[in-house]
């Protein structure tokens, strides 16, 4: 019977302190007093949804991967770093938005439930683990507030590449003792995560893999460009057909994470609501083509100055417009809640149709508590503009719904308290500080 390492008193105390610290910070609140215009400059962070798969790519090589422009303060980044450390990936001391990851050897093949359930994107270690070692034992990520979030497309694709996969006790138990082999995979529906998992797996598979109906998000292109820098052979990034020719091994690389288009879109919508002028730095507007049309129609003015984007209201009243979320380059589902907040104050009405996730309207009852007039019918919501929103006590339910409540609070009359802001800490780097620097009356309050 292996001797269980007894945690000494210090370790127990530290562990208890850390968890209570996390619990306390997680239960912190945000207080906002509405009515201030936003004026100032915001440096957009590196994209969370690019950084997470990029970190998993480090598993594919025994040489170091240096990632720059990383949103290091996000809880999701910290959680995934812990998952990678469990597997034997060494992480350098994060500094100045740079993270060094190095996997000289994979010492464990298990991504445990207690970490994966906290951060679903941990399932992206599955493909790289299988490709590097021929073995993986990854907890099913489980659902989250916005949907059941199945991973059947990930599993079906890896099986097509020769992996034996069974689901036992809530874990995906996968093996490919002979190594993975290239395959033609036609996704029945577009999946960002499945495209990422299989693209990473295919870089070390024998032969060519063709991914059809692949996701085209900028984060997929960013991951592919990093893999190419590591020595992978990939064509068709950003198109619906990605071809990957497997190679023997991948080598060291340095990669600069693409700017966060969802954060950028959030600030553009914010200034539509509050008025004022924001200068957005280190972003790439071409990744938001589907948002720019509806925002200009609603009343946003967009100018460029070098690499900076300058956004302000065009002086006319906000006008309602309709949007439908779709895979890239369609309107991003991750900006649906934020755009809906803007529609609550538009002249006229707008309709929002959510086609990606089955339960992504949880911000609706919270916005209605602030005086919005929103009615949900199936996967559509009708928003009739009202003259004002009024501050209230509201609850964040998921990452992007939290952002939509912050936006509403910035423009509501009076004070809003937003509870359960641990959701926000997962995906928005220093959101309170960034808004304070532009004149918002917003503060984080520890939940005593
Ligand atoms: C990624 O999630 C993003 N997360 C999500 O951002 C984003 O909303 C989503 O893509 C769509 O753009 C990360 O990149 C870490 P999908 P992912 O696989 O990969 C179904 C945020 O707020 N599906 O493209 O999980 C699925 O249920 C988050 O930053 C299957 O049926 O999304 C959904 O209905 C939220 N089977 C649709 O496909 C599968 O095997 C799209 O999911 C996989 C997905």
d(CA 130, CA 174): 7
Protein residue with least CA distance to atom 17, ligand 1: 193
Question: 232 CB less than 6 Å from ligand 1?
Answer: no
Please give the number of the atom of ligand 1 that sits closest to the Cα of 155.
40
Which of 127, 188, 193 is the pocket-test mutation for ligand 1 (most atoms within 8 Å of CB)?
193
Question: 293 CB less than 6 Å from ligand 1?
Answer: no
Does the annotation count 144 as an active-site position?
A: yes
Collapse the DSSP code of 46 into the 3-class scheme (helix H, G, I; strand E, B; otherwise coil) and give the result.
strand
pLDDT mean over 45-68: 98
Protein residue with least CA distance to atom 21, ligand 1: 334
Taking a C-beta distance cutoff of 8 angstroms, is the pair 338, 400 a contact?
A: yes
13 pLDDT exceeds 50?
no
Averaged pLDDT score across all residues of the chain: 92
C-alpha dihedral (437, 401, 82, 258), degrees to nearest 10: -60
What is residue 314's predicted lDDT score, i.e. its pLDDT? 83
Q: Of 144, 226, 272, 438, which residue is the catalytic one?
A: 144
Give the model confidence (pLDDT) of 162-202 as tens digits: 999 999 999 999 999 999 999 999 999 999 999 999 999 99
C-alpha dihedral (218, 223, 226, 228), degrees to nearest 10: -100
Give the model confidence (pLDDT) of 346-389 as tens digits: 999 999 999 999 999 999 999 999 999 999 999 999 999 999 99
What is residue 26's predicted lDDT score, i.e. its pLDDT? 58
18 pLDDT exceeds 60?
no
23 pLDDT exceeds 60?
no
What is residue 74's predicted lDDT score, i.e. its pLDDT? 94
Predicted confidence band at 147 (pLDDT cuts at 50, 70, 90)? confident
15 pLDDT exceeds 70?
no
d(CA 344, CA 176): 52
Please give the number of the atom of ligand 1 that sits closest to the Cα of 76.
15
d(CA 428, CA 368): 24
447 pLDDT exceeds 90?
no
161 pLDDT exceeds 70?
yes
Name 181's bridge partners.
Answer: 206
Protein residue with least CA distance to atom 4, ligand 1: 49
């Amino acid at each position: 019977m292996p001797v269980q390492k007894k945690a000494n008193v210090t370790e127990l105390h530290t562990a208890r302190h850390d968890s209570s610290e996390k619990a306390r910070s997680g239960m912190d609140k945000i207080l906002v007093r509405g009515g201030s215009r936003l004026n100032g400059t915001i440096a957009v962070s590196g994209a969370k949804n690019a950084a997470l798969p990029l970190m998993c790519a480090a598993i594919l090589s025994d040489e170091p991967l240096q990632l720059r422009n990383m949103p290091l303060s996000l809880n999701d980044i910290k959680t995934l770093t812990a998952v990678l450390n469990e597997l034997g990936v060494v992480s350098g001391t994060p500094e100045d938005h740079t993270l060094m990851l190095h996997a000289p050897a994979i010492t464990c093949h298990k991504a445990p439930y207690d970490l994966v359930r906290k951060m679903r994107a941990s399932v992206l270690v599955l493909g790289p683990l299988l490709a590097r070692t021929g073995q993986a034992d990854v907890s099913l990520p489980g659902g989250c507030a916005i949907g059941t979030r199945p991973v059947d497309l990930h599993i079906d694709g890896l099986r097509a590449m020769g992996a034996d996969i069974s689901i036992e006790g809530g874990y995906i138990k996968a093996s490919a003792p002979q190594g993975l082999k290239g395959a033609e995979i036609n996704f029945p529906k577009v999946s960002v995560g499945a495209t990422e998992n299989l693209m990473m797996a295919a870089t070390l598979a024998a032969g060519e893999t063709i991914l059809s109906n692949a996701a085209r998000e900028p984060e997929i292109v960013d991951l592919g460009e990093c893999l190419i820098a590591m020595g992978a052979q990939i064509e068709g990034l950003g198109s619906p057909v990605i071809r990957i020719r497997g190679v023997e091994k991948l080598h060291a690389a340095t990669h600069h994470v693409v700017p966060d288009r969802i954060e950028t879109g959030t600030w553009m919508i914010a200034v539509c609501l509050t008025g004022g002028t924001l200068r957005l730095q280190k972003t790439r507007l071409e990744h938001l083509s589907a948002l720019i049309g509806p925002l200009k129609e609603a009343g946003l003015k967009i100018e460029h100055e070098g690499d900076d984007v300058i956004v302000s209201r065009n002086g006319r009243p906000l006008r309602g417009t309709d949007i439908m979320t779709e895979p890239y380059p369609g309107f991003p589902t991750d900006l649906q809640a934020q755009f809906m907040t803007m529609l609550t104050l538009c002249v006229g009405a707008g309709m929002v149709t959510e086609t990606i996730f089955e339960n992504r309207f949880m911000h609706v009852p919270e916005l209605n508590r602030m005086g919005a007039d929103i009615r949900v019918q199936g996967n559509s919501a009708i928003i009739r503009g009202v003259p004002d929103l009024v501050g209230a006590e509201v609850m964040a339910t998921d990452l992007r719904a939290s952002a939509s409540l912050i936006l509403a609070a910035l423009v509501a009359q009076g004070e809003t308290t937003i509870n359960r802001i641990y959701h926000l800490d997962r995906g928005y780097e220093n959101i309170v500080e960034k808004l304070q620097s532009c004149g918002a009356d917003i503060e984080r309050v520890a939940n005593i």
